[in-house]
Structure 1
Amino acid sequence: MAPQSPDPTDLAGAAAQTPAERARAHQQLLGALAVQPWRHDFFQLLRWVEALHPQAPRLGRAARPRDEPLRIGQDPELSFAPAALHSYREQTGAPPRIGQRFFGLFGPMGPLPLHLSEYVRERARSLGDATPLAFADIFQHRASLLFYRAWAQAQPVSHLDRPGDDAFGRWLASLAGLGDPSMRERDHVHDHAKRLHVGTLARGPRNAEGLVRIVGQYFKVPVRIEPHVGHWLDLERSERLVLSRGGRAATGRLGLSAAAGSRVWDRQSRFRLHLGPLGLAQYERFLPGQPALLALRDWLRLYTGLGLACELKLVLAGREVPEARLGGHRGGGAAARLGRSSWLGVRRVPADRPPPRDRADLAFLVEPVRSCTDASR
């Protein structure tokens, strides 16, 4: 059976507990450790201790040993270690001492001659003189915690034990330019979701495949992109062609840069995002003003920037189309909204018949396009 630490609390939520809850969990952990220390893993135990003391420096980084909640020493035994941890001892006026046997100066695998391990062991056992052992523990404690720190630095999960000091998350986010503190918790998309897709976000050229992957994974809905959606693009008044003897407008040349009218047909600055078929509850979460649409807007800002406009087309599964009724709500849910979630002449189809066609009538811009004139106001 693999050695495991007890489960007094959840590691990821330990830092969010009250001081009294953390102290109680710490005492439970030490109580279990005192009974059977050999059943605990060295690295897992120190992770528990570190998570239950968020106010203290991380293990291996404290300037003084008294700032650390425990002492790590090595028990000078002559046999090969059957387990990483060997003993637990309370100390008067000092944190408890945990004796380990897998790393250090003594024992058959240590760098010191074996007779020195025997000498220190007999002094402590036969004569009650732990002076040589206490002297070695000065160095062993520091070396053991540095060994743990080196292990923890390379373990992404150990950084999450203290969410406020998640160095690995900062390193990962920096690959996509999101590591600066000013980039955290700035929109409706959780930082961990951005780090999940840091490989896609870190790539310079943006493509449709990456956006489909992000939106599909984050919202758990079918996604399809339709590129090069044509639309009318309004021209600024200063850019329109007018009859003139001079000035900027006079530079327009027929067949090259002149455009008749106040707008032009454009296909390069807009794409259409198809979501669905969706259930009714999913459909309503993407309506204007709803949380899912706000999160989608922030994903689009992050991935495509402001240079492209996205038209969202919601596809509602045929069997999910609600009946429009005057007054009241649909089965206790939200009321139908004209032009968004209401259809006339909808009839329920029995389950043994082919389902009605999916409805893809609603399309709107995720973020309204602002002209240069509007942006300067």
Structure 2
Amino acid sequence: MFPIVRGAEARAPGLPGVGLARRPDQNITDLVQVPTLAFPDSTLDEVEVRNGRARIGGFWFGLTGPMGPLPSHMTEFAVFERRYAKKRPFGRWLDPLSGPMLQFFFRAWADSQLAAQADRLDYDRFADHVARLTGATEGVSPSSSRAAPGQARVHYAALFASRRSAGAIEDAMTHLLGQPVTILEYQLRWWSIEADNQTRLGRSFSGLGNQVMLGGRAKVTWDASRVVIRARARADYDALLPSGPRFRILSEALDAFAPSHLEWDVALEVAGKHARPARLDGSTRLGWTGWIGQTGDDAVRGDAHLRRSTMVRPMTDPMLRKV
């Protein structure tokens, strides 16, 4: 019973789950017990489809049968009626009584099976528990049109609940993009010093050998990392560019996986055999794929660098731009 009812439930997302319908016309399928005094090897007996809804009959637990609460002679009568009578008033009277109990039995089983809950996103209670525990869907509404929706983020719940090390982010990005990803930590960056923290002779931060800082910027490496993505082919490289279909996925994934207090940029690499020189044939884009000169097949071109935009943009907009 479980596999066939589970398949029917997964294919009817617009109806309440089995055992959750409030009216009979909302049932995805009707479950009935076929009366018998034997213990058959297979519990499934018949499937009848009427008006687009299946009626599934099987040798399950119910009111009749060797394990049922009714006396054995009533089971014999139900078997005789089903086999020889043109009408089945007794059997049809038992079906509305045992059918809901069978649906509740399936609902109890499905609620205890993680895979069965994942068949219907609107009733995936286990995914909701994991999302609330790890914060995987924090800030993502179910109705938002994002490239990385909440259901996809639950797959990486372990990353959201951990310290988000470089190795963990590498594995998640590699799995998501299908391209080799490497995290290079401690990248050199210019860090702007706020005016209140700059050295002012006789006023602030003017202790020689202790607090003096010349200029308004300083080179630091402790808060910057680089995500290096090696595209397998030219099509994969183009897809990761800002005008490509996978750029939005890359942008939202990096914004979700990477710690927000660190600076990140992205370097796209492609093998030299896929980086053909610029041509006036409409396939070259200046600043992105306008390579000059020949490159060996074993060489690697890594000219495209993307970084987080310093402008405040909506969550659905790309968070990376070319530098």
TM-score (norm 1): 0.70
Q: 2:64–2:75: 8 Å Cα contact kept in structure 1? A: yes
- Which structure: greater helix fraction? 1
Percent sequence identity over matched residues?
A: 25
Q: CA deviation at 1:254?
A: 3.6
Distance across 1 between alignment mates of 2:244 and 2:84: 74
Letter in 1 for 2:269: V
Distance across 1 between alignment mates of 2:292 and 2:48: 77
Letter in 2 for 1:232: W
Is structure 2 residue 101 aligned with structure 1 residue 114? no
Q: CA deviation at 1:195?
A: 2.3
Letter in 1 for 2:281: G
Residue in 1 that maps onto 2:309: 368
Distance 1:274 1:124, change over 3 A: closer
Residue in 2 that maps onto 1:273: 227
Residue in 1 that maps onto 2:286: 337
Distance across 2 between alignment mates of 1:293 and 1:127: 67
CA distances 1:42-96 after superposition (whole Å, capped 9, x unpaired):
33433454355544322201224344254322222112224223346799x9x87
Distance 1:305 1:134, change over 3 A: same
Residue in 2 that maps onto 1:24: none
Residue in 1 that maps onto 2:15: 56
Distance across 2 between alignment mates of 1:303 and 1:55: 33
Distance across 2 between alignment mates of 1:119 and 1:313: 77
Letter in 2 for 1:79: A
Distance across 2 between alignment mates of 1:96 and 1:220: 41
Residue in 2 that maps onto 1:259: 213
Distance across 1 between alignment mates of 2:196 and 2:305: 31
Residue in 2 that maps onto 1:101: 59
List aligned pairs for 1:346-361, cutoff 5 A: 346=294, 355-361=297-303
- For the residue of structure 2 that corresponds to 1:183, the secondary structure is coil
User: Where does the alignment leave 5 or more consecutive residues of structure 1 unmatched?
Assistant: 1-41, 350-354, 372-377
Q: CA deviation at 1:189?
A: 1.9
Distance across 2 between alignment mates of 1:159 and 1:213: 26
Residue in 2 that maps onto 1:32: none
- Which structure: greater strand fraction? 2
Letter in 1 for 2:178: K
Q: 1:81–1:102: 8 Å Cα contact kept in structure 2? A: no
Residue in 2 that maps onto 1:296: 250
Q: How many residues align?
A: 310
Distance across 2 between alignment mates of 1:276 and 1:212: 12
Q: 1:277–1:358: 8 Å Cα contact kept in structure 2? A: no
User: Where does the alignment leave 5 or more consecutive residues of structure 2 unmatched?
Assistant: 313-323
Distance across 1 between alignment mates of 2:59 and 2:72: 14
CA distances 1:199-242 after superposition (whole Å, capped 9, x unpaired):
22222x11001110011111111121111112111112232111
Which residue, out of 302, 313, 328, partners 2:281?
Answer: 328
Distance across 2 between alignment mates of 1:171 and 1:148: 21
Q: CA deviation at 1:187?
A: 3.1
List aligned pairs for 1:44-83, cutoff 5 A: 44-51=3-10, 53-68=12-27, 70-83=29-42
Distance 1:122 1:288, change over 3 A: closer
Residue in 2 that maps onto 1:20: none
Distance across 2 between alignment mates of 1:270 and 1:148: 52
Letter in 2 for 1:236: E
Is structure 2 residue 266 aligned with structure 1 residue 312? yes
Distance across 2 between alignment mates of 1:172 and 1:152: 18
Distance across 1 between alignment mates of 2:184 and 2:303: 16
TM-score (norm 2): 0.80
Distance across 1 between alignment mates of 2:55 and 2:165: 56
Q: 1:323–1:342: 8 Å Cα contact kept in structure 2? A: yes
Q: CA deviation at 1:302?
A: 0.9
Distance across 2 between alignment mates of 1:300 and 1:121: 64
Q: CA deviation at 1:293?
A: 3.0
Distance 1:115 1:253, change over 3 A: farther
Q: CA deviation at 1:108?
A: 2.7
Distance 1:335 1:113, change over 3 A: same
Distance 1:262 1:127, change over 3 A: closer
Distance 1:270 1:370, change over 3 A: farther
Distance across 1 between alignment mates of 2:46 and 2:200: 91
Distance across 1 between alignment mates of 2:117 and 2:166: 33
Q: CA deviation at 1:165?
A: 4.5
The Cα RMSD (Å) is 3.3
Q: 1:224–1:273: 8 Å Cα contact kept in structure 2? A: yes
